A and B are shown apart, each in its own frame.
Chain A
Amino acid sequence: MSAFLPVLRVTLAKDMRLEWRSKDAINSMLFFALLVVVIFSFSFDLTAEESRRIAGGLVWVALLFAAVVALNQTWARELRNQVLDAYRVSPAPAESLFLAKAIGNFLFVIILVALMTPLFVVFYDLRSVGPAYQLVFAAVLGTWALVVNGTFFAAMSIRTRSREVMLPLLLFPISIPALLAMVAATTAILTGDNSPYLSLVFLAVYDIVFTIVGFFLFETVLHAE
């Protein structure tokens, strides 16, 4: 356990450095999310009220697909030069790698959320009726729900031949409860129709459960052949 935090820290720093230099994950996510925003905004002629009702679903579906792109990218760089084997052969804890990757992916997707939010507001003429600060909770809890499962399942699918297909197949079904809660919470905040409290609590519980499951099962996944 003494190695857990130092290894987590250096692995996270390494991933940030690699992403800063290559910008593989951020660029591909940004491009994808941008396309979704622009295409949908031109496809529908929505009133402000209608925008508030569908924006939650639109935002989270866009983020889910964009996150899949990023998740594949961050593990793909561990496959290049088989560098993951260097980690597997070391005494470093598998859990450090899992959490470092999850936190790294969380930061990438949160950056994307920060960049995309003004665009959503402009393109869909969004004004939150409910307290807008609650959107921050929805964004943080929802993003963690996406990336913690995504990191785990991306690691599972990384060595399969068709990993780009395999990851959504594994990730999407298990993300549906979280996705529903994210959409419900966001819509509730934007429309102000009802309280997002229950949805946010559900997301928090979902995050805790899947973080614990991923944390304890990751060693098996990492050392599987």
Chain B
Amino acid sequence: MSFSHPTTTDPESAPAIVLSEVTKLYGRFAALRGVSAEFVPARLYLVLGDNGAGKSTLLRAIAGLMRPSRGTVTVLGSSQLRSAAAQIGYMAHAPLLYDEMDGMENLRYFARLYGIRGDQRCAEVMRAVGLDPALPRRVGQYSQGMRQRLSLARAILNDPVVVLLDEPFSNVDIVSAREMVRLLGEMRDAGKAVFVVTHQPALLDGVADESIFMDAGAITERRSQVRDELHSPRVS
């Protein structure tokens, strides 16, 4: 699996994402409370926190799916997130796939939304997540783990610079999860800013660069992690 290298791969260079006092209110409930942070390319960020801590909301704000009540989100130098949409890959809790179509049909449709022609890229990302592009089964008949993998394939279809993954390993067997982690490591090494919201942080031991802890809609701590030399997950 090959990924294009963004022009700014130096972690010391301009941040890929800048959050400035980002607040999101749902009525009186604050899903995000004045979050300010910068995230640079070529790093894999692990976003951790209890349910309702604001992790998914943070990802949705960066993806441009949710407009902050206050504050600004800047992605790749633009606060107009629509203009950065082609550079963002987003994987949600839900699979974001059509049940009535097979894997390749789904990817082919989403590829066209990004102006990607032909089936080569679709087949490539399907293989990268361990799925067979020739599998004629409709997504509605996929197992949960297969859906998750196809959902990851959809998220990275456009070779994004910013990759936002919400619970990518839920319902995925351990072998497949490790394959996915290896893929994420490769993407980070290719200069992409990768965010992974997960309740299974151990899977990313030795791969993640930084853990971001969230609580009650705020980032409470950022902790750098030691990365394995091979940038690959520990396989026992």
Chain A residues in the interface with B (C-beta under 8 A): 3, 6-7, 10-11, 14, 17-18, 21-22, 77, 80-83, 85-92, 225
Contacts and interface: CB of A to CB of B under 8 A. Distances in A.
Contact of B109 (A3, A10, A80): A10
Interface centre among B94, B95, B113 (most CB of A within 10 A): B113
Question: What 10 A-B pairs come out closest when comparing CB atoms?
Answer: A92-B113, A82-B94, A86-B96, A91-B85, A90-B113, A10-B112, A91-B86, A21-B100, A89-B90, A81-B94
Contacts of A6: 112, 115
Interface residues on B, range: 20 to 34
B98 A81 contact: yes
A81 B114 contact: no
B113 A14 contact: no
A131 B143 CA distance: 57
Given A14-B98, A18-B98, A82-B94, A89 B110 contact: no
25 contacts: A3-B115, A10-B109, A14-B98, A14-B101, A17-B100, A17-B105, A18-B101, A21-B100, A77-B98, A80-B98, A80-B99, A81-B96, A82-B93, A83-B94, A83-B96, A83-B97, A85-B90, A85-B92, A87-B113, A89-B64, A89-B88, A90-B110, A90-B113, A90-B114, A91-B114
Q: Which label, helix, strand, loop or mixed, suits the secondary structure of the A interface? A: helix
Contacts of A81: 94-99
Contacts of A3: 115
B82 interface: yes
A96 B88 CA distance: 20
Contact of A88 (B65, B100, B115): B65
Interface string B69-101: 000000000000010011010101111111111
B17 interface: no
Contact of A83 (B65, B86, B98, B115): B98
B154 interface: yes
A83 B97 CA distance: 6
A91 B75 CA distance: 14
A3 B115 CA distance: 7
B65 A85 contact: yes
B63 interface: yes
B9 to A, nearest CB: 23
B66 interface: yes
Interface string B133-155: 00000000000000000000010
A208 B93 CA distance: 40
Interface string B211-234: 000000000000000000000000
B199 interface: no
B67 interface: yes
A83 B95 CA distance: 7
A14 B112 CA distance: 11
